[in-house]
Amino acid sequence: MSVYNSLDSITEELHKCMKCGNCMAVCPIYKETRQEVAVARGKISLVEFLLSGEAEMTQGLAERFSLCTTCMACNNNCPCGVRFDKIILAARAEAVRKKGLHPVKKIAFTALKMQRMFDFGMKTGSMFQGVALKHVPHKSDRIARMRFDIGIGTDKVFPMLASKTLRSEFPEVVKVEKPKMRVAFFTGCMINYFYTDIGKAVVEVLKENDIEVVIPKGQGCCGIPASVNGDVASASALAKRNLRAFEKLGADALVVACSSGGTAWKHVFGELLDNDPQFKALADKWAGKSYDISEFLIHKVPFKKEGLGRVNRKVTYHDPCHLNRGQGINKEPREILKSIPGVELIEMKEPGRCCGMAGSFSLVHPDLSVQISDRKTADIELTHTDTVATGCPACRLQLKSGVENAGINEEVVHTVQILAESYRAGKKK
The predicted-structure confidence for 182-196, as pLDDT tens digits, reads as follows 999 999 999 999 999
Cα–Cα distances in angstroms (integers) from residue 152 to residues 58, 105, 170, 217, in the given order: 25, 16, 35, 33
Give the integer Cα–Cα distance in Å for 232 and 227. 6
State how beta strands 181-186 and 173-174 pair.
unpaired
d(CA 318, CA 353): 8
pLDDT at residue 132 in the model: 81
The answer to whether residue 80 scores a pLDDT higher than 90 is yes
Instruction: List the one residue out of 102, 103, 99 whose CA is nearest residue 91.
Output: 99
Report the distance separating Cα 92 and Cα 76, nearest Å: 21
Average pLDDT over residues 244-273: 97
Residue 306's closest CA among 208, 176, 213?
208
* Cα–Cα distance for residue pair 115/97, rounded to 1 Å: 25
Percentage of the chain exceeding pLDDT 70? 99
Contacts of 225 (CB under 8 A, 6+ apart): 108, 109, 112, 359, 360
Tell me: pLDDT of 429 over 70. Answer: no
DSSP class of 22: G
Query: What does the pLDDT average to over 144-153?
Result: 80
User: What's this model's pTM, rounded to 2 decimal places?
Assistant: 0.95
Q: What is the distance between the alpha carbons of residues 351 and 365, in angstroms, rounded to a whole number?
A: 23
Percent of the chain with pLDDT over 90: 79
Please give the pLDDT value at position 7: 83
Q: What is the pLDDT of residue 139?
A: 65
412/187 Cα distance (integer angstroms): 19
For residue 99, pLDDT over 70 is answered with yes
The per-type count for the chain, helices as H runs and strands as E runs, is: 22, 12
Q: Whole-number mean pLDDT of the chain? A: 93
Report, as an integer, the average pLDDT of 18-42. Answer: 94
- Is it the case that residue 282 has pLDDT exceeding 90? yes
* Half-sphere exposure for 214 (CA within 13 Å, toward CB): 18
What domains are defined for the chain? 7-99 (1.10.1060.10), 104-159 (no CATH), 166-300 (1.20.1050.140), 313-428 (3.40.50.1860)
Report whether pLDDT(359) > 80: yes
What per-residue confidence (pLDDT) applies to 140?
67
| Best CA proximity match to 224, nearest among 208, 236, 213, 211 | 236
CB contact at 8 A, 199 and 171: no
Q: 184 - beta bridge partners?
A: 214, 254
Is 341 or 361 the better-scoring residue by pLDDT? 341
Rounded Cα distance between 220 and 242, Å, is: 6
| Nearest CA among 385, 400, 275, 351 for reference residue 1 | 275
pLDDT band at 363 (very low <50, low <70, confident <90, very high): confident
Q: How far apart are the C-alpha atoms of 388 and 228, rounded to whole Å?
A: 27
Tell me whether strands 387-390 and 313-318 are parallel, antiparallel or unpaired. Answer: parallel
Tell me 352's DSSP state: T
Angstrom distances, CA of residue 181 to CA of 115, 134, 172: 29, 44, 16
Look at residue 96 and tell me whether its pLDDT is greater than 90: yes
Closest of 266, 286, 267 to residue 2, by C-alpha: 267
- Please state at what angle helix 232-249 crosses helix 103-113, rounded to 10 degrees: 10
The yes-or-no verdict on residue 269 having pLDDT over 90 is yes
Cα dihedral across residues 305, 308, 311, 317: positive or negative? negative
- In tens, the pLDDT along 39-72 reads 999 999 999 999 999 999 999 999 999 999 999 9
| DSSP E strand boundaries for 105-252 | 133-136, 143-146, 157-159, 173-174, 181-186, 211-214
pLDDT for residue 1: 59
